[in-house]
Structures are given as structure tokens and as C-alpha cells.
Chains A and B, each alone.
Chain A
């Protein structure tokens, strides 16, 4: 029982824009009134719904491989010293699971979506998610390079493909469907890639990436999943890839789709020397198509480690940088590559990437459809979000940062002409209310009576980055978890999942195929529900 009084509340889901309002909390939910045992004097403070990260990589085989590859970063990063009640941990480029919870909660984020899970290692991913404290979690299952699904799609057996996808989603205890470089990761098993939406994929006769994205988007809608198809397009990171991205969006016209980390998919030029921003082209198309959402995957300068299911891209990045490279092939399902990377302001390509991430956030005019991410840890680590907020809210600061870039950059980007500054209300949309809505989390990103009492209280500060990095209080499920930088408690979070229905003959269909091409027993493959801490099953309802 808690009452927060006198704060200026920013609650875009209910149109509340800075009005002074009391918030009462009981049993983890927001209520009308309460006999408060504890009161927080929020006079002069700012109240937001807790942050929601729509796309991050915090648990699973890939990030855990990245942890092994970067001991030099662990050594220099922030250490979390254990207490009698709290486990130790390390922050940095690939934080440990415990530290991941502390760091997210520490900057006011209370819900995170792990965006890439192979079904085969879903059991592992959930083990890790169980060890991420405080925040609520969900995860998306990789489907666009699954050989069984691809064979069905090539054979034109849409209905069966739909049931198989639903079965996989149940087996993985996932929340939604992720597509990464459709067909390209399968082609990577031949050392090849798949860059054209209408060209057949290596190892297949007629199946194309275009067919995969269209059918997956339809499956997601037919199954009524709360979150649309979460799509990492073909041809990530390559100069001139705006053509592929626009082609993909045209393939999906009229469908719900979430375009992941669009920063990596909005480049012009025909080589590294001529690479330029095409954020305006992306934004123009996107603004005109309201069934789409996106997150930016913004880049910040500095060291990080890139991890993606996009295996062929990671091999290219290894060859470009000569740095460490990890490659994981996940049987018939997907793959993954890991390469440490440093974004440098003096590097023209990196400078363009930095600008594109911000341009997309500034040129897309509906904040309800574009969300704050860095595709952690790919563009930058998630704990650097406050720096992006500052860049969005302060044009002067943005211009000062731009002045440090190579002079040649000016003709390649749109940022110098953009004067837009985000308001606090808009920030509350892109970091909380918007991603919560896109994920279909009706209880999140919303401070109305009956909603989850996840919220964050900031001190108003001219230093925006400091304001968002050091909240005064963070409250998760009604409990004060962060009090002025001190981790007060580390409750277990919940995990969201869906259980879409599938035809009962699906298992009989899958078992022989599975026994043919997998290395584990069919019976041992699905993750048991009791392996997951506080599972919460979200309804599926057919999308009209």
C-alpha cells in the first residue's frame, strides 16, 4: 500500500500530460484510493510508467557466448557487489543476468522483451530469464529459417505451417514470432546469404524470403498473437539496403508488422565509401502505413559487442574488423554470430549509422509507432538509453555532437536540417506506452486504475541524460525497488507467453520429421511450464 502524491504525471495511454495527480497502489496494481502505509512525496518530481523494451538481447545462447568472448570488458565495467540478499554481477557490454535486472530497473525499465530465441535453446533462455530479477520478461521465437516450416511454405501447405508454428511457440514458451534475415540464415549453412526478396533461397527450389515474411505475418495474425510479426529484414547493415527494406514493407502492406532496429535497414549508396542515410525514404513510407511499428536500434559511439542470428552478416563484420568472431549454427532452426565492435565518430559509416538512428526517431511523426531501442547490445548497451533521450530532447546538444563528426558527413545525412525536439510526453510514449501497446501488454505502460503498478519517478533536471539515468524511485509491482540509486529489493519478475491453439495431429506430423533431422528426443524438446518462474499466459484473439 503506497501513495505517491504531488507528482507531475506523464501517462500517454490516458492522455495525461504533466498534470499533478496522486497515484495509489495496492497489491501490485494501481487503485483509486488506499489507506497508504507508505507515502512518497513526489512534489516537484516527474512520474512515468515503467519503461518497456520491445527489442533487446539479454538472455540465451548468443548473449552468453558474447559474455565468454569479452572478459576484458567485464574487468573494466561496473561491478555489483553482493549483499546478504542480493547476488553479485557485472554490467558492461554483455551484463550478467542479475546485473541485467539491476541495470534495467536502475533506469526505470520494468518490462523487457528478449527478441531472438531458437526453440532448440529455449530451455536455456528461460533458465537465464529466471535469473534476471525485478523486471517482467517475454521472448520471441525464431521462425524464418526453420527448415521444417520452410519446407511447408515451399510446398504451399499454409495451414500445416500455421499449426507447426503454433506448436513451436507452445514448445518454446514464447510470446511471439521473430523473423531474422528470412532464408538468409538457412543459406548461411551453405556459406551464402539471401538478399533479394524474390530470389530462391540456397537449398530450396522456389521458396523466397518474400514468401516467408508474407506467410509468417499472416500466421501471426491468424493465431491472434498479441504482438505482430517481429521482423529483422534481409540485407541488414549493407549500403543501399533501403531498396530491400522498402520491398519488404511493400510485401507486407496491410499486415501488422514490427520492423526491428530499422536504423540498420535504411542506408543508401552502393558501397562503404558512398553509404548514406535513407531515413527520410523509410520514414515517408512508414508514416503512410499505419499498420506498422518499428524500433530504431540506435547507435551510440563506443565499444559494444554485436550479436545477431544474422550469421552471414557477422562473418562479413569479422572480415571487416579482424576482431573476434563467434558463430553458432542451431541445427535446422537458425544460426547466430557474435563480433565485438567499436563505433567511432571518426568513421564515416559509423557516423551515418549514428545519424540514421536519431533521424528515424525524429522523422517518423507518430511516436506511438517508433520505439526507443539500441538493439542491445548491437547499437549500444541498453543502459545508455538516457543518452539517446538527451539527443532527442535537446537539439543544441545534438548539434554539438554532430559538430564532432567528419565534415563529409553533412551531405550524407538529414540530421542537420531537423529541429524537432521530443517532449517528456513523447519520451514517455517511445519508452513505455508505445512499446507496451505494440507488445499487446494491456497491463503495462499505463497508469490507469487496475493496471500494473510499474512506474518510475524522476527529478526534473536540465541534464536530461542524468535525469533518466538516475531516477529518484523505481516501483515494480507496487514495490520500491530502486531508491535514489540504491537497489532496495530484487523481487522475481513474471514471464509472459502465449499458447495459441494448434491442430491435434500436428505432433504426429512433426514427430517423424523431428526424429529425422534433430539430435534430441521429441519428448525432451518442449520446455515444461514449471521450469519458468511466475509464468503469465496472455490471450490470443484473432486479429481482424
Chain B
């Protein structure tokens, strides 16, 4: 099978954020992560495009994405003191959305740094 090769890929597992990784992917799974360290290899090879989990869960039961999104908005809006927390294993683009949402909600905003 022909694997797609992605050069200069960036690993986000640890704070080194090495950006010289060569990934060999079939679109569903990464088969090889050259130059990555042992932690990076495990990080790249353990993800796949298979659907291991439902799109969403509500009270632990599989739910539609749209329902989960509208319920999330409802809960956040109804709260007096909502908290937005985490933001480590995600992109800067998502982090900006988090800050904007906490600002809009008048809530609390915090990251792993405070631990």
C-alpha cells in the first residue's frame, strides 16, 4: 500500500515540540514516525481514524454531536460561575476559542500551569 509521507511534522507530546518528524500515514493510521523519540512514536502510532468512541456522550449514553453541543451551551450559560480548564493537549486555535468563551461567559479560565 502506498503511504503518504509527511515531512517536518510537529510532535505535541512533550514541551520540546520537535518539528522534524517524518510521518508515514495511510490516512487511517500512522505507521511510522521517523526521528520521533520513544514517547513521540507511541503518541503518533496510538491514534487512528477508527471510530473507537461515540461522537458524544450525555450522562454516559451515546448522543448526537449537535445535541451535546447545544446542551453544553445551555449548561455553560445557565451556570453562575462556569470554569474553562485544561488547554494542554489542544491547538492554539482551540485555546483562543476557550479564552473567548470564558470571556463571554464571565467565567473562570485556567490551565495546567496552576497545578
Contact = CB atoms under 8 A, between A and B. Distances in A.
Q: Do chains A and B touch in the complex (CB under 8 A)?
A: yes
Contacts of B7: 523
A462 interface: no
B10 A524 contact: yes
B8 A521 contact: yes
Given A127-B92, A521-B20, A82 B8 contact: no
Contact of B19 (A82, A88, A521): A521
7 contacts: A82-B103, A82-B106, A87-B100, A87-B103, A521-B8, A523-B8, A524-B19
Interface string B87-115: 00000100000001001101000000000
Interface of A: 82, 87-88, 127, 520-521, 523-524
Given A521-B19, A524-B19, 14 more contacts: A82-B103, A82-B104, A82-B106, A87-B100, A87-B103, A88-B103, A127-B92, A520-B19, A521-B8, A521-B20, A523-B7, A523-B8, A524-B8, A524-B10
Contacts of B106: 82
A366 B64 CA distance: 69
Contacts of A87: 100, 103
A438 to B, nearest CB: 34
Contacts of B92: 127
Contacts of A520: 19
B76 to A, nearest CB: 16
Contacts of B104: 82
A520 B9 CA distance: 11
A184 to B, nearest CB: 30
A427 B10 CA distance: 50
Contacts of B10: 524
Contacts of A88: 103
A190 B91 CA distance: 36
Contacts of A521: 8, 19-20
User: Most B CB atoms within 10 A — which of A82, A88, A521, A524?
Assistant: A521
A524 B7 CA distance: 10
Contacts of A82: 103-104, 106
Nearest to A83: B104
User: Most A CB atoms within 10 A — which of B7, B92, B100, B104?
Assistant: B104
B32 to A, nearest CB: 18
Contacts of B103: 82, 87-88
